[in-house]
Structure 1
Amino acid sequence: MSNASSDPIYIQILTQIRQSILSGELVEGDSLPSIRQLAKDLQVSVITTKRVYEELEKENLIDSVVGKGSFVSGTNQDFIREQRMRRLEEKMLEIIRESKEIGMSSQELIQHLTLLSEEEHTE
């Protein structure tokens, strides 16, 4: 978590856990700390961590079992891929908007993306 970030604390926590699941760092069946334990570890309110877990449940990324805890959901890989694609599209739209703001044509943007992609493959 970063105090310098403009994002609220719960968004920072949510983003970190979501990213860990979508990247495969956390996999199906992995247990998460209890809401109270996470709050204690991060020195935040229990309400904050409860809100994070509720949001992750809405996204079908975790399952919470009363008396047992919260676990990474058994959601299939197609769902996770779809979620990642949706986030990637949002980032692409942001890049398109910004490139228009600086007067970059679609063709220039594609060329730049191609160049960066080729450089990434050679590393």
Structure 2
Amino acid sequence: MWIHLNDEDARPLYVQVKEQLIREILNGSLQPGEELPSIRRLAKEARTSVITVKRAYQDLEQEGYIFTRAGKGSYVKLQLDDERKNMKKRQFKEKTDELLVFGKQLHLSNDDMRQIMRKCLEEGER
């Protein structure tokens, strides 16, 4: 499993791990029932601490993306189609909120941001 951590990213490392795993779960790269790497193995592969990965796994379990069997490991949780769609929408909204904050920091108006978003969506449809 490839997890890329960026030291220049302002987000904590556990959030980076968590978000990358969520993306892999929601896009289907990690299938329901699939076992995740052990906390120690993923920490070693990602060159981070066990505590970082453990925190990411705890959050993922709390948010309903994975489940853990004591002594067995952590697995991708099966989600119903509606639940999966809602999770995707929630992730998209979180990223959109971040983008809007960024736009405000650049002093862009709501109209400017709407126009840019519309243009991006139109270009994506082509």
- Which residue of the partner structure matches residue 40 of structure 1? 44
> How far apart, CA to CA, are the structure 2 residues paired with 1:41 and 1:77?
32
Give the aligned CA root-mean-square deviation in angstroms.
Answer: 2.2
User: Displacement of 1:102 after TM fit?
Assistant: 2.1
User: Displacement of 1:111 after TM fit?
Assistant: 4.5
Residue 103 (1) aligns with residue 109 (2): yes
Q: Deviations over 1:20-59 (max 9, x none)?
A: 1112111101110111111222222222211111111001
User: Displacement of 1:96 after TM fit?
Assistant: 5.0
Task: From 37, 61, 70, give the equivalent of 2:74.
Answer: 70
> How far apart, CA to CA, are the structure 1 residues paired with 2:62 and 2:71?
19
Residue 81 (1) aligns with residue 85 (2): yes
Alignment length, in residue pairs?
A: 120
> How far apart, CA to CA, are the structure 1 residues paired with 2:116 and 2:47?
43
Residue 26 (1) aligns with residue 30 (2): yes
User: Displacement of 1:94 after TM fit?
Assistant: 4.6
* TM-score, structure 1 as length reference: 0.81
- CA gap of 1:41–1:110, structure 2 versus 1, over 3 A, is closer
- CA gap of 1:94–1:48, structure 2 versus 1, over 3 A, is closer
> How far apart, CA to CA, are the structure 2 residues paired with 1:21 and 1:50?
17
> How far apart, CA to CA, are the structure 1 residues paired with 2:6 and 2:115?
35
> How far apart, CA to CA, are the structure 1 residues paired with 2:7 and 2:107?
30
SS across alignment from 2:75:
strand
Larger-Rg structure: 1
> How far apart, CA to CA, are the structure 1 residues paired with 2:113 and 2:11?
29
> How far apart, CA to CA, are the structure 2 residues paired with 1:52 and 1:60?
12
| Identical residues among aligned pairs (%) | 34
**Runs of 5+ consecutive residues of structure 2 not aligned to the other structure:** none
